A and B are shown apart, each in its own frame.
Chain A
Amino acid sequence: MVALPALAQRRLARTELRQAGEGYSFALPFLLPFLVFTILPLAFGVLVSFTNWSIIGAPQWVGLHNYISALSNPLVRQAFLNTLRYVVLVVPVVTLLGLVFALYVNQRWPGHLFARVSFYASNVVSAPVIGLVWVWMLDAQFGIINHYLHTSIPWLTSTNWSWIGVSIATVWWDTGLIFVLFLAGLQEINGEILEAAKIDGAGPWRSLRRIVLPLLRRTFVLAITLEMISTFQIFSQVNVMTAGGPANSSASAMQYLYSAGIGQLQLGYASAIGVMLFVLTVIGTMIFRLLFRDKRW
């Protein structure tokens, strides 16, 4: 390595600084709003979680009182437990359905063009609308689900079934996005690999297990991570379909946060629940990423 003269070094440093500045200024239109509308409110929320505040008047510092109060509240524990139940049920089902739909469309089986649109269509509708429609579909008396299943399951009025009813609506809503992710992943797979496998005598099922699914590993990780984050924050469907009832059996952490923060103006308490949910979400996704991290040989 040739050592540059001091003047050249200074010129290089200035050039690099200017180029870095140019880069940051290109990023500024995103960075500034992100800072103002995401990072600062996040930090403010963490700060508020240590106070007692209901918008009017100054916040009063209460330390860890909100966290202790939340952790000792059985309703909060129930809400977090329900949230974990939603994650355990919804994430695998959405992932599996999204993959199956993507395989169907990718294989260009009959009706694949219509399927491509219809599989994704549910995702463009807003969650409250989804909730309202499914309230009627799952109605024990008038709902078409019970009508065609010839049952009278109290999907939304029973403590045993309410969270399952909400999960069904959530799966229907979320599958569209995961389907798109898997479809993109499948279309990135080089067709020559599959042709070569076919020449070597591999059947469709073997190709799927040995070639397609391993190549979709990163798509799996992305899809499951996104779905986990989304399901941890489940709110609209719960609020519209059951309002957390009956008897808190379907309440999620976000829905409880909403009722405490917005409904009862306990912003400090609600912020504490929000921080706890954030930590749970981060831990959950980190555990998943650690379990499925790429192995380097």
Chain B
Amino acid sequence: MAKNSLRTRARPRRRVPAGLIVGTVCLGLAAGACSSTPAATQTSHGNTVLTMWSTLSASDAQTWAKMIANFNQANNDKGLHMQIKMTTIANNYTTKLTAAVATGNAPNFGWGTAGQEALWAKQGVIIPLNKLAVQAGFNLSDFNPASLKDAEYPAIGGNNFYLLPMDSSSFAMEINVAEAKAAGLNPADPPKNGPEFIKWLQALTVRKNGQITRSGLVSDTTGLATTYWGIVAAQYGFQRVSPDLKTACINRQAGITAMNWLLSLFDKYKVISRNISAPYTTFDTGAGAIMWEGPWTILGNIQAKLNWESAPLPTIGTQPATFFEDDGLEVYKQANQASYLTTMKAIKWLSDHSFLWTTGGRGVSPRKSILNMPNYMTAGFAPKYRQAFITSMSFADVASVPTLSTADFEYYSLGTFAVNEVSAVLEHKLSPTAFMTAVCTKWQSDLNTDSSQG
């Protein structure tokens, strides 16, 4: 029917299909809208412009922004004749950065965490910094050797470090001073061992109608709880991997003991509520009296007008240990390799001037010269906030495992393998023994695979 009706209509002989015009215009507009991405290293008014991607978004971002502003002021048409253009990447940093490198549009440098980027080191996304650091004028003996070591990836060979450490952040104990005093405790004499710690938690926990309304210790059942377990396990002598990254789970019994200890806080002593979904808010509002956390919480606690102090973690096990991470700056692969030395010089300036960063931003300086500055301990945040994070570095040895499957070994995260397994134990779906068997089997499998791919 349709064909017959079409045949009977008069039609013009020539007509350019309007749809074709529209389609062509659309494609043309789309093609024209794509502009070439400028190269990472540019020049502007006699300055070399470097691009940096930053993942910092919380309170430490404010201090880092000041660092960049100071750099730009000091080197605008003088000094290094450089400027840094910083972009904050709020999420999906890994994917964005990898895609940028793959397309040749990576920034010059950015933030990284030591031990978590073995795959990037293997793929050449981040470049080794040993020679560049020396060429840029760094005195590597000024660095804490452990910090530089953390930035190496023995799994892929070589003694190169891939990150210039800027700060070392350990876990310390944060105590609500008002609640401690109200409970008859002395914040100036914090608990130093397991029994003392339990006494403190029991005194600080408040219950109503059988429900915990104030937890003695703030914890979730995911990343934070896993970190607690990891710290205490290390204190009992557990190691996730051997130093040569070939054997998983050294001293399994220590891991089981630590898990039983953690479970006892929930089930036997009932000093942790299982309903905490926002640990920072719980602590800042006084719904939790003690929290084990890192120095990135300092500014947030202050801004919440909390009356609190920090103290070193108690030794629950047989030796002191705590979680830490080394964060720093890494240089990304560029088409123009001549830019690497320029970038490294900029990083050196930032490192040399990182007093502000490690007193008012985050962490402890990995550089002896900065640590030894006369006012290092008293500048920035008050000693009652910072001191414990500094002294804790002397026994901080629970860090990321620098292997290709590092995500499976991560404690202080969400949704990783270890965290999921710990959650299952805390939900009573897995026994501590079965938990150790599961994690150790998986970790050993990961190490075997990584070893074959290294």
Contacts and interface: CB of A to CB of B under 8 A. Distances in A.
B33 interface: no
Contacts of B94: 262-263, 265
B23 to A, nearest CB: 4
Choose among B6, B95, B211, B421 the residue with the greatest number of A CB atoms under 10 Å from its CB: B95
A25 B429 contact: no
A248 interface: yes
Nearest to A165: B277
Interface string B214-227: 00000011100000
Nearest to A251: B415
A26 interface: yes
Interface string A129-164: 000000100011110000000001010111100000
Given A139-B277, A245-B420, A29 B7 contact: no
Interface in B421-448: 421, 423-424, 426-427, 429
A251 B416 CA distance: 12
A12 interface: yes
A19 B273 CA distance: 72
Contacts of A56: 98, 101-102, 123-125
A75 interface: yes
Contact of B19 (A15, A28, A154): A28
Interface in B84-105: 92, 94-95, 98-99, 101-102
A244 B415 CA distance: 7
Interface in B33-91: none
A111 interface: no
B220 A157 contact: yes
Interface string B278-292: 100110000100000
Nearest to B414: A243
Contacts of B184: none
Given A25-B17, A158-B274, A55 B420 contact: no
Given A15-B7, A56-B102, A75-B420, A245 B222 contact: yes
A140 B279 CA distance: 12
Nearest to B17: A25
A175 B176 CA distance: 44
A157 B221 contact: yes
B423 A265 contact: no
A55 B95 contact: yes
Choose among A29, A158, A243, A244 the residue with the greatest number of B CB atoms under 10 Å from its CB: A29
Nearest to A256: B415
A29 B95 contact: no
A106 interface: no
Nearest to A56: B123
B162 to A, nearest CB: 15
A55 B102 contact: yes
A273 B207 CA distance: 45
A158 B427 contact: yes
Contacts of A25: 17-20, 23
A22 interface: yes
Nearest to A261: B95
Contacts of B11: 15
A85 to B, nearest CB: 17
B423 A247 contact: yes
Nearest to B275: A140
Contacts of A27: 19
A140 B277 contact: yes
Contact of A247 (B22, B23, B101, B424): B424
The interface size bin for chain B is 35 or more
Nearest to B98: A55
A12 B6 CA distance: 10
A267 to B, nearest CB: 9
A185 interface: no
A94 to B, nearest CB: 25
A135 B407 contact: no
A135 B277 contact: yes
Interface in B196-226: 211, 220-222
B265 interface: no
Given A28-B20, A56-B123, A265-B94, A245 B423 contact: yes
Contacts of B222: 243, 245-246
A264 B274 contact: no
Interface string A104-137: 0000000000000000000000000000000100
Contacts of B7: 12, 15
B17 A32 contact: no
B427 A265 contact: no
A154 B275 contact: yes
Nearest to A143: B277
A16 to B, nearest CB: 7
A5 interface: no
A88 B222 CA distance: 27
A243 B415 contact: yes
B265 to A, nearest CB: 16
Interface in B387-430: 407, 414-415, 419-421, 423-424, 426-427, 429
A22 B11 CA distance: 13
Interface string A53-64: 011110000000
Nearest to A57: B123
Interface string A21-44: 110111111001100000000000
Contact of B95 (A33, A140, A265): A265
B26 interface: yes
Nearest to A21: B17
A22 B17 contact: yes
A104 B43 CA distance: 65
Given A25-B20, A157-B221, A246-B423, A262 B95 contact: yes
Contact of B123 (A54, A139, A159, A263): A54
A55 B427 contact: no
B92 A262 contact: yes
Given A16-B3, A57-B123, A245 B415 contact: yes
Given A54-B98, A75-B420, A141 B19 contact: no
A248 B420 contact: yes
A203 to B, nearest CB: 46
B317 to A, nearest CB: 25
Interface in B144-196: none
Contacts of B27: 32
5 contacts: A135-B277, A141-B287, A246-B222, A247-B427, A265-B119
Given A26-B18, A158-B427, 8 more contacts: A15-B11, A56-B125, A140-B273, A157-B275, A158-B274, A247-B420, A251-B415, A265-B94
| List of 7 A-B pairs having minimum Cβ-Cβ separation, nearest first | A140-B275, A26-B19, A28-B23, A247-B423, A25-B19, A25-B20, A25-B17
